[in-house]
Structure 1
Amino acid sequence: MSMARRCPGCDLSIMPHAAPRGKSAYCPRCSTRLYRGGKCRFNGELAIAFACLILFVPTHIFPLITIRLFGVMIPATLPSGTFSLASDFPAVAFLILFCSSIAPLLVSLSVLGAQLALKVKNFSLLKSSLWVLTRLKHWAMYDVFLVSLAISCFKVQDYADIYVGPGLYCLVILQVLMSLLITRVSPNRYWESWQPEKDHPTFKTLRPLAGERAKSDNECTNPLNNQLQTLEEIHCETCHMTQAYSSHCIRCDSPLHHRKPRSIQRTWAFLIAATVFIFPANLYPISIFLNNGKRAEDTIFSGVAHLIKTDMTGIAIIIFVASIVVPVAKILGMAYILICIQFKRRVYHKQRMHAFRVIQWVGKWSVMDLFVISIMVTLIDRGQILDFTPGPGAIAFGVVVVLTMLAVENLDSRLIWDNYEQRTK
């Protein structure tokens, strides 16, 4: 790994070198990982992906938990909440199904597809598989579902006896394997196996005449000399290859842009729409609970207050943070980053980059409330005696979750550093 490259996080030109075994190289300015060190073990990733696919079947067939309610045994499988919500709330049901089943399945299949593409030399299959892997890995939410299942069990423990099913053990193992798969898989390595960067003749023009190399494993790296900084080079967002500027990537044939086209406009559009929907999400009831003919409609905030009154303070804090603090903080945080970009703020670039990464990571945990609703609908459905259904606020809340995640995905983080580069030249 002796070739020059631009950091995908801040667009800094640097010169990484091969890291020691098991170590990775990071950008000195924004701490983005440039490449994963150590040897590439595709066979291990293939085994994990196969194991995930095998466990996918029992996880969805066998009950996660079973409760005894009024003498009746009620099982809850992973997709049962989706089926219960499909008739009245199809959009919410699809979001839950996508995050708990479709996205994890496609991520596992994409790893298999990428390895098959390398074996049979199929470029289209490789490109589409790696696109799916990159785009959907943040939407695989088994960890969020497990926390939601635990919260649901605490909520129903006063009404029913709870029994652990075999599906729960499969889900825990599947979550461990899925986390291991997502952290191990590097799309860059697949592209390097397909066609190494150093094999391209245009890459020779990007080699520096002098300059420091990047150090490994969180150690600071040094930028290249001024001669490399002035070269017309560009980073491909698809295969992550740094190359001489052209209209399309010489390796993956994707359109090349110095920055994502209309990134700020799209991010603002998603953010403004999320801001509009966050009001009905918090003002309208998100759940309707029927107990012995008494109807109780809870908004997110009143549900948190009810949990505190019933001595479930820990769960109340989790719900409050995930369903109220996180969505509002994401909107405010993204708005702050966008305003700083547009007003060309000249300080605190690294702090804004850290904030962007925190928003990117924490975004999926807002889905927790929807998972809890889907599980409760499955477990508590006894007609006029005891019943639980989503309220209109659940639809608005689902829209807020999706829009905020799309806003984060559409923002080009390199825009945060553009003013920094202008200031330091």
Structure 2
Amino acid sequence: MNHPPRIKPQYHQTQVKSLRLCQGCELPVDTFALEKGKNAYCPRCGTQLYRGGNPSLSGNLAIAVTCLLLFIPSHFFNFISIRLFGVMIPATLPHGVWTLMQEGFVMLALLIFFCSSIAPLILSASVVVAHVAVQQRAFRALKYSLALIQHLKVWVMIDVFLISVAISCFKLQDYSDIFVGPGLIGLVLLQVATVLLVTRVSVRRYWEEFMPERTLPMKNKTLHCHSCHLSQPEGEHCIRCHNPIHHRKPNSIQKTWAYLFAASIAIFPANFIPISILMTNGKRLEDTIFSGVAGLVKNGMPGIAAIIFIASIVVPVAKILGLSYILLAIKFKRSIFHRQRMIIYFVVKWIGRWSMMDLFVISIMMTLVDRGQILDFTPGFGAVAFGLVVIFTMLAAESLDPRLIWDNYKQPSNNRESINE
């Protein structure tokens, strides 16, 4: 894909040190006047350049170790139990995944287990490894651990799982007595610690501790590395982390269209094939996402119905339409509303994870409503299609390079801007 000529600013050596290219639109931004501890955003596209505060790496290590310790009570103690027809049925997170696998829904089980357990576990372990790598000057260990942190943040969904537990309780309250277990306390504490860890950890700060930017010789900055967030001269590999570096992600448009096309195909069976099957009093009740929402409204739970409707129907459709609009605007080189398209991009990246809520509810229901009981619950094949929609839309958002939005933006005469927010 041909791009318009890019401005390659040339500054004095004293100016180069305070210059940074925005990873969202590649605008050269002068951070010299930035107050210490303040958040910094690109004045053109709104991408966050620096995070306020200066959390210590030792604090990150302490929180990561806490997360690892909390995995034991949160995953192996009962987080909820129900009394169904006089029988106590406990639920643990791995039990729901295992039940899904036994029923033949292996892909669905692995997706749920990855987002609720594997991703948070690897993220926490990677922070520990990154801290040790910085102390021991282990370049390779630091490089791969920080790469894992950067790519796994979006897949950590313990908060979505907790909301799913609450929704499952509302759906089961008419059939059984519900009891909170000690595992739920572990899940809440793990969620608090994980959110704190994700908001504190900065890949750039680890690289700065390992190899500060001031130690690297640079006469100008025309490229920004998305792996270690170092703005640097033209080249094929980052001078700090040695990862391949590009002005634009290779084949970004093609990959995003491919993921969106696959998601658009999967969204039809996801909405029209039953996503869950409930056997009660000898009756087989098959629910699609739409009928499930209607059933919640009919049973006097409009709030829960609204949450499911937004997360399972509105969000996937909005992501497909939003990303398609951005791609079409790039294709036809629209020269207005760049900032609005950037806001759509930010929103699409943020809301995608909440679509997993319905799948988490299915996993919890599978654990609590065992087969062979008078009340029986099993997922339908619509759940598999819905899982594909979630995966493809999230991959589409991650594969799109936002800098493409700004390729036909008319650069002002003074392309260097200062920030202080």
Question: CA offset at residue 422 of structure 1?
Answer: 5.9
**Equivalent of residue 413 in structure 1, options 392, 402, 406:** 402
TM-score (norm 2): 0.92
- Structure 1 equivalent of residue 307 of structure 2: 318
Q: Tell me how far apart the structure 2 counterparts of residues 368 and 68 of structure 1 sit (CA, whole Å).
A: 24
- Alignment of 1:403 with 2:419, yes or no, is no
- Structure 1 equivalent of residue 243 of structure 2: 254
**One-letter amino acid of the counterpart of residue 75, structure 1:** P
Question: CA offset at residue 2 of structure 1?
Answer: 4.3
Question: CA offset at residue 18 of structure 1?
Answer: 6.7
**One-letter amino acid of the counterpart of residue 371, structure 1:** F
Paired residue secondary structure (2:409): helix
Question: CA offset at residue 22 of structure 1?
Answer: 3.0
**Equivalent of residue 341 in structure 1, options 330, 339, 348:** 330
Q: Tell me how far apart the structure 1 counterparts of residues 94 and 73 of structure 2 sit (CA, whole Å).
A: 12
Question: CA offset at residue 408 of structure 1?
Answer: 0.2
**One-letter amino acid of the counterpart of residue 360, structure 2:** F
Contact 1:291 1:384 in 2 (8 A): no
User: Could you give the per-residue CA deviations for residues 5-55 of structure 1, whole angstroms, max 9, x where no partner exists?
Assistant: 100011000111374443222211112121234434111111111110110
**One-letter amino acid of the counterpart of residue 291, structure 2:** S
Contact 2:97 2:109 in 1 (8 A): yes
Q: Tell me how far apart the structure 2 counterparts of residues 163 and 306 of structure 1 sit (CA, whole Å).
A: 24
Question: CA offset at residue 248 of structure 1?
Answer: 1.0
Q: Tell me how far apart the structure 2 counterparts of residues 399 and 273 of structure 1 sit (CA, whole Å).
A: 8
Question: CA offset at residue 182 of structure 1?
Answer: 0.4
Q: Tell me how far apart the structure 2 counterparts of residues 289 and 179 of structure 1 sit (CA, whole Å).
A: 35
Contact 1:289 1:389 in 2 (8 A): yes
Paired residue secondary structure (2:277): strand
Q: Identity over the aligned pairs, expressed in percent?
A: 61
- Structure 2 equivalent of residue 136 of structure 1: 152
Q: Tell me how far apart the structure 1 counterparts of residues 399 and 371 of structure 2 sit (CA, whole Å).
A: 43
- Structure 2 equivalent of residue 159 of structure 1: 175
**One-letter amino acid of the counterpart of residue 267, structure 2:** I
Paired residue secondary structure (2:408): helix
Q: Tell me how far apart the structure 2 counterparts of residues 345 and 96 of structure 1 sit (CA, whole Å).
A: 39
Paired residue secondary structure (2:329): helix
User: Could you give the per-residue CA deviations for residues 221-260 of structure 1, whole angstroms, max 9, x where no partner exists?
Assistant: xxxxxxxxxxx61111111111110111111111111100
**Equivalent of residue 149 in structure 1, options 158, 165, 177:** 165
- Structure 2 equivalent of residue 197 of structure 1: 213
- Structure 1 equivalent of residue 26 of structure 2: 11
**Equivalent of residue 57 in structure 1, options 72, 95, 102:** 72
**One-letter amino acid of the counterpart of residue 408, structure 1:** A
Q: Tell me how far apart the structure 1 counterparts of residues 211 and 81 of structure 2 sit (CA, whole Å).
A: 51
**One-letter amino acid of the counterpart of residue 110, structure 1:** S
Paired residue secondary structure (1:420): coil
**Equivalent of residue 36 in structure 1, options 51, 60, 70:** 51
**Equivalent of residue 298 in structure 2, options 303, 309, 316:** 309
Q: Tell me how far apart the structure 2 counterparts of residues 172 and 242 of structure 1 sit (CA, whole Å).
A: 39
- Structure 2 equivalent of residue 219 of structure 1: none
Paired residue secondary structure (1:74): strand
- Alignment of 1:378 with 2:367, yes or no, is yes
- Structure 1 equivalent of residue 231 of structure 2: 242
Q: Which residues of structure 1 form unaligned runs of 5+?
A: 207-231
Question: CA offset at residue 382 of structure 1?
Answer: 4.5
- Structure 1 equivalent of residue 12 of structure 2: none
- Worse-superposed segment, 237-246 or 258-267: 237-246
TM-score (norm 1): 0.91
Pairs within 5 Å for 1:267-278 = 267-278=256-267
| Structure with the larger RCO, 1 or 2 (CA within 8 Å, 6+ apart) | 2
- Worse-superposed segment, 375-384 or 403-412: 375-384
Contact 1:2 1:15 in 2 (8 A): no
Q: Tell me how far apart the structure 1 counterparts of residues 410 and 26 of structure 2 sit (CA, whole Å).
A: 9
Q: Tell me how far apart the structure 2 counterparts of residues 22 and 417 of structure 1 sit (CA, whole Å).
A: 29
Q: 1:25 to 1:17 in 2, by over 3 A?
A: farther
Q: Tell me how far apart the structure 2 counterparts of residues 254 and 414 of structure 1 sit (CA, whole Å).
A: 19
User: Could you give the per-residue CA deviations for residues 297-352 of structure 1, whole angstroms, max 9, x where no partner exists?
Assistant: 11100111111111111111111000000000100000001000111111111111
- Structure 2 equivalent of residue 95 of structure 1: 111
- Worse-superposed segment, 384-393 or 370-379: 384-393
Q: Tell me how far apart the structure 1 counterparts of residues 370 and 238 of structure 2 sit (CA, whole Å).
A: 55
Paired residue secondary structure (1:414): helix
- Structure 2 equivalent of residue 364 of structure 1: 353
- Structure 2 equivalent of residue 170 of structure 1: 186
Q: Tell me how far apart the structure 2 counterparts of residues 287 and 198 of structure 1 sit (CA, whole Å).
A: 57
Question: CA offset at residue 383 of structure 1?
Answer: 1.7
Question: CA offset at residue 418 of structure 1?
Answer: 1.1
Q: Tell me how far apart the structure 1 counterparts of residues 81 and 317 of structure 2 sit (CA, whole Å).
A: 35
Q: Which residues of structure 2 form unaligned runs of 5+?
A: 1-15, 416-421
Paired residue secondary structure (1:248): coil
Paired residue secondary structure (2:286): strand
Q: Tell me how far apart the structure 2 counterparts of residues 405 and 309 of structure 1 sit (CA, whole Å).
A: 32
**Equivalent of residue 109 in structure 1, options 111, 125, 136:** 125
- Root-mean-square deviation (CA), in Å? 1.5
- Structure 1 equivalent of residue 419 of structure 2: none
Q: Tell me how far apart the structure 2 counterparts of residues 389 and 133 of structure 1 sit (CA, whole Å).
A: 34
**Equivalent of residue 186 in structure 1, options 183, 202, 209:** 202
**One-letter amino acid of the counterpart of residue 304, structure 2:** I
**Equivalent of residue 298 in structure 1, options 287, 304, 311:** 287
